[in-house]
Structure 1
């Protein structure tokens, strides 16, 4: 039977949450993804997976943004007009440029994305508005960096990362010898894949502190900080394969309101100067209560699940007398609002923002501002990685997990097994509940 619902497609390497939100918003949803987990297959009306063998996926060998883009065009062309972009493809201006030849991109265009990932532009903004950022050197190629390796003006340890998100793995480098080895290894990997480096190479000062992010909604004039989140990076209990491997989050981050307000103003200014719209994010580090910018993600963030939950809780009438609303980029003040309870759908709010209809009632960042409030809730998400090659057992009957592989799926070392969610009345309890679930899953796998 033909559906009368409007159609929308979601494209991403792991876009289950975004597809689920789009479907909940009332769209006939098409999902193009690498993964084909049990719940991913149910998250949209039509699912197309890149996996050659769902019982033995090999993400490192089978996936690239270029392959995903070509696969999406093949599967969606002629079926759907509007697309939403998730994961790193939404931060890749080159892939967006290609996709817009076939679809309407319901998000930031290639020019906006290119500005958001251009560190020459970013540093001009930061210097003008006195925003902290790590000392940064920019190189056009691996060879150019290697030729200047003895003249780096940033002391070790340094961070090396690409300007194009996930073009190569971010690394922490302690000395010149390690940097030479990193560059030789990176060159070999690009040569093996018969691929040219896109974008530039960044050498940055290593800022040690609490990694965090802001989930933001913008119509280009007004930006709302939906939540400020603690990021889980390189967590050993989740078998993170690298020092900078993203492993999940805790929402909201435990911060005082003065610091929240400061972060909201800074991130709002950055989004305004870049002209970004819709659901976007900014990663940063907090060191001694000081904000240090890390990067802009001009796309949906990984925080969709928890932001929708937290927003729906925070907009109930019991919070009506609390907090602050949106950061108006034009007049720089926080208007008071009256909240009415309803379930929040981030895709719906994103599309409204693109049309200039930003819902200022959505600022939930200050909702849980009473540190002694027993009704507070914290949401934790952890991505569990395989610490060796494994064959999964039956995980479908374990509560509060997502991205569930079919029983008997072979997971290679360093690749994700599943996603775990936990709640608690404070951050330590949420994390404790998360790691309890990790132990249960490891037990089921015989670890």
Structure 2
């Protein structure tokens, strides 16, 4: 459901069950998404605003579970899943600017979970549904879909018809040349083996500034895992992306700990003087 005005939003509120999530049609990476536990919280927020700032407000059911995504490649007639990915959402150790901010990935998702027999059947069924979805959409090249896993159920959230933030981790985990796979798909060539075969784990964390006052980037520790660096001297404000940390590992837990440790070093080196 969506509303283009405060009055429309107030009417929709009468028909939904809380908690809910609202999101705007602007921004990405979790920007503009808010969770409302009670009707009165959202009602007070809406009454404090005269208009929705020329944005559409979308209402979604709040589903608590494992935040995940799939990296998919499509040709004209075929679809293959390259990886299933765990999403890092709202990671405060990475300075997440909001509870729903996208902060990175762990690939593959399956290696980060204990999978009994029924759960393995669930993943087979999930991949079948994902492939069916993309065959209907008739997209070409590498695309993605976000979903939430709750028990043995999956809830699709949104399709991302573009190159994905998880691609570095997919390439680390599968040792495949994703650029070549993407280009080959446009020539109707899909030489991808299924189910996906993983050789190791790829972990990516996006570090955000969590400092209240603007400050210039000073320096980075010596590490080949720090990429997408904001240049030294650039002024960062709270919530601005600082850099990404991407590394291979054999343990999802240890890999994420390494990302958090490196993020803490970067924050310490660049902390403004009081």
Q: TM-score, normalised by structure 1?
A: 0.54
- 2:34 counterpart (128, 150, 171): 171
Q: Post-superposition shift, 1:404? A: 1.2
- Map 1:305-344 to 2 at 5 A: 305-312=168-175, 344=176
Matched, 1:355 2:187: yes
Q: Which residue of 2 aligns with 1:35?
A: none
- Map 1:45-444 to 2 at 5 A: 138-152=1-15, 154-162=16-24, 166=28, 169-183=32-46, 190=53, 196-197=54-55, 201-253=57-109, 254=111, 255=113, 256=115, 257-312=120-175, 344-361=176-193, 363=194, 365=196, 367-368=197-198, 377-388=200-211, 389-395=214-220, 397-444=222-269
Q: Post-superposition shift, 1:410? A: 1.4
Q: Post-superposition shift, 1:184? A: 6.0
CA distance in 1, matches of 2:49, 2:207: 26
Contact 2:147/2:158 (8 A) holds in 1: yes
Q: How many residues of Structure 1 are paired with residues of Structure 2 in the alignment?
A: 262
Contact 1:149/1:176 (8 A) holds in 2: no
Q: 1:139 to 1:443 in 2, by over 3 A?
A: closer
Could you give the per-residue CA deviations for residues 287-314 of structure 1, whole angstroms, max 9, x where no partner exists?
A: 11321111111111111212222222xx
Gapped regions of structure 2 (runs ≥ 5): none
CA distance in 2, matches of 1:176, 1:414: 28
CA distance in 1, matches of 2:40, 2:91: 26
Q: Which has the higher helix share?
A: 1
DSSP 3-state at the match of 2:71: strand
Could you give the per-residue CA deviations for residues 372-395 of structure 1, whole angstroms, max 9, x where no partner exists?
A: xxxx52111111111113322222
Q: Post-superposition shift, 1:353? A: 1.0
DSSP 3-state at the match of 1:227: strand
Q: 1:415 to 1:145 in 2, by over 3 A?
A: same
Gapped regions of structure 1 (runs ≥ 5): 1-137, 191-195, 313-343, 369-375
Q: Looking at CA atoms only, which structure, 1 or 2, has the larger radius of gyration? A: 1
Could you say what the CA RMSD is over the residues aligned between the two structures, in angstroms?
Answer: 2.4
DSSP 3-state at the match of 1:148: helix
Q: 1:143 to 1:189 in 2, by over 3 A?
A: closer
Q: 1:227 to 1:149 in 2, by over 3 A?
A: same
